[in-house]
Amino acid sequence: MFRAASRRTSAYTSNLVPAQRQSLSRSIYTHNARPTSQLKSTNTNPVTLSNIAHPRYATYAQRVRLRYREASKGIFRKNPILLPLAIVSLISAIGAFAYISYEELTRVAPQYHKFPPPVADALRTAIYYTEIDLNPPKALQAYKDALRIGVELGMHPFSDEVLGIKLQVALMLEKAGLVKPAIEVLERTKDEALRWVEQGRNTESASVGPAKTQAAKSPESVKTTAESVQINTEALEDAEKELRELQEFEARQRDRALKKVVGMQMKLGELYASDYIQDDKKAEAAQVAAVELCLKEMHRRQKLGLPVGSAAAVEGGEESWLNMTEIATALTELATTYSAKDNHDLALPLYMRALEMIRVAEGDAPSCKQVTLLNDVASAMVGQVQHPPGGQPKQAVKQDQIVEAARQWAQKSLDVAARIQPPVRDEECDVTCVVATYNLGEIAELQKKPEVAKQKYLEAKLLASGLGFEEGISMADTALKRLAKK
């Protein structure tokens, strides 16, 4: 029965579906009998070509960007090692280029801006064969070319630039291990500069009187009109002004050349004392000559009413003569040479004079140089007692006075060092404190105070250990052993 009912239901449904489709198709065209072939438009305006959308073309930049995107897809997956290396190499190249440009603009270029371009080019070649690829023959030839071109272009033969080139030649030879040729260059340059300075100062007092007399006797100078007299007076004033400026320039050049001569003599002392030459007599003679030149020039300036320590600053803010600190350095080096030879009676006056100059230069702001000199004075005094000149011991009373004075100088060195704070305080102060404390121990030994001496030696060892000053530790240990045997 159920099967018969389902058959009747299926037959009814199949008869019903075409009827529904037909009714639906008729409902679509209820308002129109048949569909039209034209589309209805709500816009009343006619359709034109301007209303039709045209195809858009990509620009060149868009096409490049599109290709770049397509090429970059999967590039890291395809090159997991080469791509990071390429990026790192690119960044490194950019950094290196920036660093080279910075060095060229800030350090290299300023060294050559005072030279004419042809001279600067030759110097660049010389510096390359001096600093980068050490080649003495090529470097020497480049320096010679620079000097020759400089003379042809009218550079002053004793200017800072020309003398600087000659000093650079000596430095290059020293760097190459050619110490004797370097000494010859310095000796020759020093002698030439000294002769030029002496000749210039001998004629420095010459006046322009003869030139004025000759101008007065000239027929052209004898005019009756006021206008012509004014013109000749102005020309004479201009000539005098130019001559005065030339004389001032030459005087500054002589001062600057003499300043370099002092430096050459100190360098000669260093080279003569080096392991290559080992000529202590010539080294001492060079240092003595430097000190004598400094003192002689100071006396001359004092007599003429010029600044004793340094001349007035010229262009670029540079001083044309040595300042007090530089003169004190020359005195100290000679004093150190005398102390090394146990000539403490010669070293002490030099240390005292150098200390005086440093105090004048530094005023109320002492530096570690003053601390070192104070201790050097104490060391020289103790050396006079331990190694008296001529081998003859001094009277006991006088020795006690010298030892007590030395103790006060060493203690003064520590007191001054305690007032100096960073960044002015540096390693020189710390090392000097170790040596000064050790000196106080030796002074206590000389004063027959073993307990005080032991305390000072232990303090010196502790300070040296904190600084990693091995020589100070060794000196303190040796002194403690010596004290223990007594």
List Cα–Cα distances, 64 to 55, 77, 83, in angstroms.
20, 22, 21
Q: At what angle do helices 368-386 and 344-362 cross, to 10 degrees?
A: 160
Of the given ranges (103-107, 195-199, 332-336, 459-463), which has the lowest mean pLDDT?
Answer: 103-107
Q: What tokens were used for 387?
A: 């190694």
List, in order of start, the domains of the chain with CATH numbers. 341-486 (1.25.40.10)
* Mean pLDDT computed over every residue of the chain: 81
- Amino acid 23 reads S
Neighbouring-strand partners of residue 202? none
Does the pLDDT of residue 68 top 80, yes or no? no
The helix (H) or strand (E) run that includes residue 213 is: helix 209-217
Nearest to 268 by CA among 182, 385, 195: 182
Over residues 410-451, the pLDDT tens digits come to 999 999 999 999 889 999 999 999 999 999 999 999 999 999
Q: Note the pTM of the prediction, 2 decimals.
A: 0.72
Q: What are phi and psi of 369, to 5 degrees?
A: -60, -40
SS3 353: helix
List Cα–Cα distances, 436 to 169, 170, 428, in angstroms.
41, 38, 12
Q: What share of the chain is helix, strand, coil (3-state, %, to 5)?
A: 75, 0, 25
Over residues 264-290, the pLDDT tens digits come to 999 999 999 999 999 999 999 999 999
